[in-house]
Amino acid sequence: MGGDRVRWGILGAARIAVRRVLPALLRSERSAVVAIASRDRDRATDTAQQFQIPKVHPSYDALLADPEVDAVYNPLPNSLHHLWTLRSAEAGKHVLCEKPLALNAREAQQMVEVCRRRGVLLQEAFMYRFHPQTERLQELVGSGEIGTPWLVRSAFTFLVATDEDIRLNPELGGGGLMDVGCYCVNIGRLLFGEPHTAFAASNIEGGVDVRLAGLLRFGGDRVAEFDCGVRAPFRQFCEVVGASGSIMVERPFQPEERPASLLIRRGDQERRVEIPGTNQYVRMIAHFVDCVLSQRPPRYPPE
């Protein structure tokens, strides 16, 4: 470890890394981005220059062999999360892996087991969980503000810009469920635990689900219903319904840094809970770094 800082290596120059995670890492006082590698050397070099990253490695394996790298951020296509998380763990690197963690439960379980065996931290990059908006939602639901909660309704849809978008490529783990539906599934699990039954219906184009509607059933007669898609008008919301009221979140997954709010309805009464704007990526990274440096378990274990 680099003293009181975590030294990061970046696997690839994906858009999410360039637009969101690297700027957040630069704002982390206890992080230093020391290396990057990409299949496109020119793109890696350009990204290194943009973010003042000192080393550009010729391959992912070369980056993992770098003794000055303590942790890696894995924003590779979904189909590569499993392979390069395993290789990172075997190299002794902590891993912040983009969502979804894996393509299936078997892959995810193996990733968890290898990281545990190697003594490295594994965290899935569901950044919205670290926003005060989500934390306040959990507090309100848990406090009985709307009575016993029984339903979570959510949606996350948008239109991909081009037919060449990797989210339309089945070989790379594309599709609406993997890209944005995973947020809807995750917030259901965050509030209700593990589902025991799942149902889904989807529109398939080119081998991927471009639109999907799903329903999860949990213990205690609780339900999460959602729709997601990459060929649909932009929509994003989450509503939690209880026996005596409801809470609506207008931008549950991407509130950006604008002030947010939760709308609570009880009968004909409404009130808003205002949430200050913040950068959820900065907060997620701060938590990850704190766990690495203090050697404590994460708030949201990957299991």
Reported as a single tens digit per residue, the pLDDT across 9-35 is: 999 999 999 999 999 999 999 999 999
Percent of the chain with pLDDT over 70: 99
- Say what angle helices 105-118 and 81-90 make with each other, to 10 degrees: 10
Q: What local confidence, expressed as pLDDT, does residue 27 receive?
A: 97
Instruction: Cis check for the bond before 58: say yes or no (omega within 30 of 0).
Output: no
- Phi first, then psi: give them for residue 247, nearest 5 degrees: -130, 125
Predicted confidence (pLDDT) per residue in 279-294, tens digit: 999 999 999 999 999 9
Q: What local confidence, expressed as pLDDT, does residue 205 receive?
A: 98
Q: Which of 203, 199, 174 is nearest to 188 (CA)?
A: 199
Gap between the Cα atoms of 38 and 110, Å rounded = 25
Is 113 a residue whose pLDDT tops 90?
Answer: yes
Three-state secondary structure of the chain? CECCEEEEEEECCCHHHHHHHHHHHHCCCCEEEEEEECCCHHHHHHHHHHHCCCEEECCHHHHHCCCCCCEEEECCCHHHHHHHHHHHHHCCCEEEECCCCCCCHHHHHHHHHHHHHHCCCEEECCHHHHCHHHHHHHHHHHCCECECEEEEEEEEEEECCCCCCHHHCHHHCCCHHHHHHHHHHHHHHHHHCCCCEEEEEEEEECCEEEEEEEEEEEHHHEEEEEEEECEEEEEEEEEEEECCCEEEECCCCCCCCCCEEEEEEECCEEEEEEECCCCHHHHHHHHHHHHHHHCCCCCCCCC
Tokens 């891993």: give the residue. 95
Mean pLDDT estimate for the chain: 97
Mark whether 99 is an active-site residue. yes
Cα dist from 27 to 98, 146, 203, 284, 287, whole Å: 19, 37, 41, 12, 13
Strands 122-124 and 269-275: unpaired
Q: What local confidence, expressed as pLDDT, does residue 2 receive?
A: 65
Report the C-alpha dihedral over residues 47, 48, 50, 51, rounded to 10 degrees. 110
Which residues face 258 on adjacent strands? none
Predicted confidence (pLDDT) per residue in 36-68, tens digit: 999 999 999 999 999 999 999 999 999 999 999
> Do residues 137 and 247 lie in contact, with contact meaning Cβ atoms separated by under 8 Å?
yes
Question: Which residue among 87, 99, 129, 167 is the active-site one?
Answer: 99
Q: What local confidence, expressed as pLDDT, does residue 90 receive?
A: 99
Instruction: CATH 3.40.50.720 in the chain: give the residue spans.
Output: 6-126+281-294
Predicted confidence (pLDDT) per residue in 144-200, tens digit: 999 999 999 999 999 999 999 999 999 999 999 999 999 999 999 999 999 999 999
Instruction: CATH 3.30.360.10 in the chain: give the residue spans.
Output: 132-277
Q: What local confidence, expressed as pLDDT, does residue 3 receive?
A: 73
Residue 303 confidence class, pLDDT cut points 50, 70, 90 = confident
Is 1 a residue whose pLDDT tops 70?
Answer: no
Q: Which of 136, 97, 118 is nearest to 284 (CA)?
A: 97
Q: Which of 279, 240, 287 is nearest to 262 (CA)?
A: 240
Domain 132-277 class, CATH top level? alpha beta
- Say what angle helices 132-142 and 182-192 make with each other, to 10 degrees: 40
Is 93 a residue whose pLDDT tops 80?
Answer: yes
Predicted confidence (pLDDT) per residue in 222-278, tens digit: 999 999 999 999 999 999 999 999 999 999 999 989 999 999 999 999 999 999 999
**Burial class of 220 by CB neighbour count within 10 A (0 to 12, 13 to 18, 19+):** exposed
Predicted confidence (pLDDT) per residue in 101-111, tens digit: 999 999 999 99
The first and second tokens of residue 186, run together, are 């995750």
Q: Give the fold, CATH level 3, of 6-126+281-294.
A: Rossmann fold (3.40.50)
